[in-house]
Structure 1
Amino acid sequence: MTFTAKDVLNLQVAPALGCTEPVAIALGAAAAMSLLPGGDFDSIELSLDPNVYKNALAVSIPGTSGLSGLDMAAALGAVGGDADLRLEVLASITDDHVKEAKQLIADKKVTVHLLKEQRGLLVKNVIKSGNDVAECIIEGLHDNIASMTLNGAAVESPLLAEPTEQGESPVAAMEAWLKSLSLTDLMAMTDELDQEDLDFLREGVDVNMRLADQGLKYGLGLGVGKTLERLVRQGLIKKDMILAARILTSGASDARMSGAPLPAMSSAGSGNHGLTAILPIWAVKDYVEVDDKTVLEAIALSHIVTAYVKAHTGRLSAICGCSVAAGAGATAGITFLLGGDARHIAGAIKNLLEDLAGIICDGAKAGCALKLATAAGTAVQAALFSLHGVNVHHTDGIIGTSSEDTMRNIGTLATDGMIETDQTILDIMLRKQFSDV
């Protein structure tokens, strides 16, 4: 099975309102509720894999004035979520829904289970209403509804993911195909873009720029982007293309992770990946003479390379995907934008991965803006270094003889090498949570 650039964009890039882990929880709850008669229920039982648990634990949920929590995400999805909106399921939430969800949690109607041995993304919502039991399972991808049952019987629903002829999800099939490609093949996909694709890519820029504008105007979240801007105005640091990329990307993350009620154009299932894949390139374009079409082609390449790395690392892991996956995509796109060829792009990817491979993912939260600032700035630096002949040697650590080998090595590190690290991170987070109770 082969895919086109349009297929990759359609399967990998989509608007998402809020961090995609609590969104996946809310989507599952909303989907399960759609099977029950009436709008009332007696209980929600939520079961999660360790990585969804970790990422959804402390991040603010949009439309709630800063509320967070696994149980809150499920309750909100059940009382007011619209499953038809997929990753924007919480766009329909009102203040009344928030009050109702808070009461449900106070009444202990939502229980959460950690599936410690589960590998791969899994969100299971079981909602009981009288004698009826509705279940929704999301697996593999944040919006991949794999099964829906009512009272133990499978239910047909347009919400269910359509499998390929081989019985796998379209994204799984696409990722298997991506793994077989070379960097040159990935670059060649930018030649396939039509006007519809370019318009969609520009929409992604506009969506993410709205978040950046909010974060920089109001100093939301940790205020990383706003603080960097203030330091420039005070003359303490100078603004160049590296700092411009850091300001724009972190400002957008500040807004998103604080629960701003604006969607992000996600990449590979993550809104923060989407911010990192798009905004550094958009910042750099102001420093070079280049037409709009080339900028959008660079962003397309960024999404494609991000998808390629995620095909190797999996959707969630102990490694910060914004750094190694979207960061690799961004540096590829920036190098392309600056006139680099395949050799330069390969060098930039290796430079970035050598620099950022050790950044851990310790859950989604306001502090992610710091990591996005690092990823965005390093993406620009890695591109500039490669264009000036500074390239990491394949004898260094996990760096391979090619960019493809290096990205595969990152996948091995994320999936096999950091299992215990992932568990340790979650254990630390859980100890903190329970010590605060």
Structure 2
Amino acid sequence: MEERLIKNYTEILEHELVPAMGCTEPIAIAYAAASARKLLSEEVKHIDLCCSGNIIKNVKAVTVPNSGGQKGMQVAAILGVLGGDADKKLEVLSTVTDADREKCKSLVNTGFCKVGFEEDVPKLYIRVEVSGENHKVRLDIADQHSNIVLMEKDGEVLYKEGGEDKQDVLSTGGDRSLMSLKGIIEYADTVNLDEVAPTLQRQIDMNMAISQEGLDNAWGARVGKTILETWGHDVKSCACARAAAGSDARMSGCPLPVVINSGSGNQGITVSMPVVEYAKSLEVSKEKLYRSLIVSNLVSVYIKHYIGALSAFCGAVSASCGAGAGITYMCGGDYHKIGKTISNTLGNVGGIVCDGAKPSCAAKIASSVHAAILAHSMSMKDQGFNGGEGIVDEDIENTIKNIGYIGKVGMLSTDREILNVMTDQVDVDSCL
């Protein structure tokens, strides 16, 4: 494999597999608020927060991590201002104290933070304006959860993406246009594991810890616990339960960090936990586990690259495609079988919609992982869905592009209507 391609895939892994605390959308709001407060350099008297519809959708019903059970955009912004550490980026709220949580509760309903909806902006967009006694700061985030694109203080532009001091996240995060399924498999086969093992082991350790927390305690809807209590403890059940349990805890405010994938903690848990469970059951080497995780992570990133950061397409599906591909690779599957696993998964659960971050995400993860395991079992027997059947194409690369088009373009109106329903902007009865 060409050295430039090896380097590119390594950069993608290092850029994507980073720790984050809780659901990444409220964390992004908190990061923006904490960064704005740091720039203000005085006590914040008022916050104005405007976000894209997809940010609103993903923050509305999820518990803000380390908040003591509080929910919502205002809570995320206020906690970011009160106790957030901007230098920690997606772990910004790890420094929040009991005093910060109590003060946040007292400020939420006072008008201290006003929230608005911003139209005609990227799907992932946050604008925070913080005002003090003497100064005012505006800070914008777009496209990626920690990608600051604008900083202003007292009307003066201090930084704007595209300017001479531009720090392009993607310039150091790898070129997704160079990705292919064959390239991912070749990279997994040949990369020197010393270059990526620390990143992969951190993913295993952190995601296993929050998964275990979800199994040990009563978080969320207890999807993971329910699976083990009712389905048994074979590897298929454990793979679904482990992934769901991590989401159970994460969606309900567990402060443990998660190593994310495609900007999502849920997707980071989904690509890793099923692969780890199969590695334990099959008693494969640590090297085989790492190489399988490379396939899982990169397949998920590859599919999500076409869909975009946030959409009405449930990211648990693309992440489960990655997990299924990683399991097939672990079991000796070649390019053809790995491609079949992805096609079989998309042909089954490609229609799951995202209606925001919340406890039911754990169930969607369990369903998607279950579909991916079925897809893996079918592909190992050379069984699956054929080209021309629905969105499935003979060429797996085209199937992936098909689902990318559906998620990015075809579901735009679906995304808007989901948001309308969630924010009570439509009289459903009158439309039926």
Instruction: Pick the TM interval, shorter chain.
Output: over 0.9
Distance apart, 1:276 and its partner CA: 0.4
Matching of residue 388 in structure 1 with residue 373 in structure 2: no
SS of the equivalent of 2:144 reads coil
**Partners of 1:44 and 1:247 in 2: CA distance:** 40
**Partner of residue 184, structure 1:** 182
**Partners of 1:105 and 1:73 in 2: CA distance:** 10
8 Å Cα contact 1:164-1:170 kept in structure 2: no
**Partner of residue 327, structure 2:** 334
Distance apart, 1:76 and its partner CA: 0.6
CA distance 1:165–1:192, shift in 2 (3 Å): farther
**Partner of residue 413, structure 2:** 420
8 Å Cα contact 1:215-1:254 kept in structure 2: yes
Distance apart, 1:166 and its partner CA: 12
Matching of residue 112 in structure 1 with residue 115 in structure 2: yes
SS of the equivalent of 2:18 reads strand
Question: Which of 406, 411, 423 is the aligned partner of 1:430?
Answer: 423
Any runs of at least 4 consecutive aligned residues in structure 1 with deviations exceeding 4 A, and if so which? 163-168, 172-175
TM-score w.r.t. the length of structure 1 is 0.92
**Partner of residue 91, structure 1:** 94
Unpaired stretches in structure 2, ≥5 consecutive residues: 428-432
**Partner of residue 262, structure 1:** 256
**Partner of residue 146, structure 2:** 143
TM-score w.r.t. the length of structure 2 is 0.93
Unpaired stretches in structure 1, ≥5 consecutive residues: 232-236
**Partner of residue 74, structure 1:** 77
Deviation sequence 1:4-51 (CA, Å, 0-9, x none) = 33201111111110100000000000000001123x222111111111
**Partners of 1:143 and 1:300 in 2: CA distance:** 24
Deviation sequence 1:228-281 (CA, Å, 0-9, x none) = 2222xxxxx343322111111111111111111101110111000000010010
8 Å Cα contact 1:280-1:380 kept in structure 2: no
8 Å Cα contact 2:135-2:154 kept in structure 1: yes
1:125-140 correspondence runs (5 A): 125-140=128-143
**Partners of 1:284 and 1:423 in 2: CA distance:** 38
**Partners of 2:39 and 2:72 in 1: CA distance:** 24
**Partner of residue 25, structure 1:** 29
1:361-400 correspondence runs (5 A): 361-400=354-393
Deviation sequence 1:115-134 (CA, Å, 0-9, x none) = 13333311110111123111
8 Å Cα contact 2:68-2:101 kept in structure 1: no
Deviation sequence 1:192-226 (CA, Å, 0-9, x none) = 24324112201111100111111111131110111
Distance apart, 1:168 and its partner CA: 7.9
8 Å Cα contact 1:30-1:77 kept in structure 2: yes
SS of the equivalent of 1:344 reads helix
**Partners of 1:308 and 1:423 in 2: CA distance:** 25
**Partners of 2:24 and 2:356 in 1: CA distance:** 12
8 Å Cα contact 2:207-2:258 kept in structure 1: yes
**Partners of 1:281 and 1:31 in 2: CA distance:** 36
CA distance 1:227–1:80, shift in 2 (3 Å): same
SS of the equivalent of 1:330 reads helix
**Partner of residue 430, structure 2:** none
CA distance 1:64–1:374, shift in 2 (3 Å): same
Matching of residue 52 in structure 1 with residue 52 in structure 2: no
**Partners of 1:284 and 1:210 in 2: CA distance:** 17
CA distance 1:102–1:166, shift in 2 (3 Å): closer
**What value does the CA root-mean-square deviation take over the aligned residues?**
2.3
Q: State the identity %.
A: 33
Distance apart, 1:320 and its partner CA: 0.3
SS of the equivalent of 2:196 reads helix
CA distance 1:384–1:273, shift in 2 (3 Å): same
Distance apart, 1:172 and its partner CA: 7.2
**Partners of 1:433 and 1:258 in 2: CA distance:** 28
Distance apart, 1:67 and its partner CA: 0.9
Distance apart, 1:360 and its partner CA: 0.3
Distance apart, 1:187 and its partner CA: 1.1
8 Å Cα contact 2:55-2:123 kept in structure 1: no
SS of the equivalent of 2:424 reads helix
